Amino acid sequence: MRFAFTADQLELRDGLRDLLAKECSPAHVRDAWANATGRVPGLWDRLVEVGVVGMLAPESAGGLGLTYADLVLLLEETGRHAVPEPIVETAAFGVPLLGRADLTVAAAPELVPWADTADVVVTAAGRFDPATIELSPRPSVDGARRLFAVRGRAEPVEGLAEAFDRGTLGFAAQQCGLADRMLEMTVAYVKERRQFGVPVGSFQAVKHHLANARVALEFARPLVYRAAVTLDPVHVSMAKAKADGAALAAARVALQCHGAIGYTTEYDLHLYMKRAWALARSWGDAAWHRRRVGRAIL
């Protein structure tokens, strides 16, 4: 038993964190909210270049031939930076499903983000025929997530159930990254912000909110990492249920501890909070995943 990442895996994670801090800053995410695609121009190519996109594809198909345990921390980083790209849909869901690393995949059980800029669109109905596909925009609270209802002829794809589990786990990892980011922002803020002559972070009421959110994250992460090794559907559901809970708790506490500044769109918190709200209800919400765990244990 050695339930820890290797030095190499952590180094890859740190490398991606540095890259995204520069190339997917809050300013970049804001630009994605306002631009035509909802994506960050040039970022996808960088993600391909550093190997994140094709990580799970065999080397013969242009990938790195690595495992989900190698990928999971990188997906967590894409959450931390609210990367507005179909990275989970492609790297975790689409690449192993299609056996190739050169296509951008948009996918979701129902409403599909970035379907208009992807090469392939997959939903629970299957893979859509590009000749018949019809996309109707359904604007999201997260302005970067360009969401579409998809209609058209869909063909069944082998391995779809496993692909949905891999995708679900990728979003669980993103939720952990989002929760961590929101906590980090809030801790920094309450150390600076002074009222009654002291930092508001010195008040127990504020401390206890943040401690609770930190505990939720502490106990969600191991479930995500365990599922990344086993890819057992029940383990994936445990991970998504708890990661959604941790991200929603962090979002709620972050907003409350920021006070009115966090309630503005001029402040960056909403970029991460809205992503967490959206992800918590897609790819199965916590209640859906608990029902799936329940069928296995009861």
Partner 1 sequence: MDIEFGPDEERFRAECRAWLEANVPRPPLPSGDTREGFTAHLEWERTLYDARWAVVSWPREYGGREASLWEWLIFEEEYYRAGAPQRVTQNGIFLLAPTVFEFGTQEQKDRILPKMASGEQTWCQGWSEPNAGSDLAGISSRAVRDDAAGGWRLTGQKTWTTRGAFCTHLFGLFRTDPAAERHRGLTYFLVDLSSPGVTVRGVERLDGDEGFAEVFLDDVFVPDADVLGEPGRGWEVAMATTGSERGLTLRSPGRFLATAQRLVDLYRARAAAADDAWRDRLVDAWIDAEAYRWQTFATVTALAQGGRTGPESSMVKLFWSELDVRLHELALDLLGPEAELADGELASWMKGYQFALAGPIYAGTNEIQRNVVAERVLGLPRR
- How many CB atoms lie under 10 A from the CB of residue 136? 11
CA distance 264 to 159: 43
100, exposed or middle or buried, with CB in 10 Å at 0-12, 13-18, 19+? Answer: middle
249 binds partner 1 (CB under 8 A): no
4 binds partner 1 (CB under 8 A): yes
223 binds partner 1 (CB under 8 A): yes
Using alpha carbons, select from 13, 15, 88 the residue that is nearest to residue 56.
Answer: 88
166 binds partner 1 (CB under 8 A): no
Reduced to 3 states (helix: H, G, I; strand: E, B; else coil), residue 89 is helix
1 binds partner 1 (CB under 8 A): yes
Reduced to 3 states (helix: H, G, I; strand: E, B; else coil), residue 251 is helix
293 binds partner 1 (CB under 8 A): yes
Which of residues 56, 163, 220, 278 is near partner 1 by CB under 8 A?
A: 220
Would you give the end-to-end CA distance of the chain in angstroms? 28
3 binds partner 1 (CB under 8 A): yes
- Report the residue number, 153 or 208, with the smaller CB distance to partner 1: 208
Which of residues 132, 136, 212, 265 is near partner 1 by CB under 8 A?
A: 212
261 binds partner 1 (CB under 8 A): no
Strand ranges across the sheet with 105-107: 105-107, 120-123, 126-128, 154-155
Under the rule (CB under 8 A), what is the footprint of partner 1? 1-6, 69, 183, 187, 190-191, 198-199, 201-202, 204, 206-208, 210-212, 214-215, 218-223, 225-226, 228-230, 238, 241-242, 287, 290-291, 293-294, 297-298
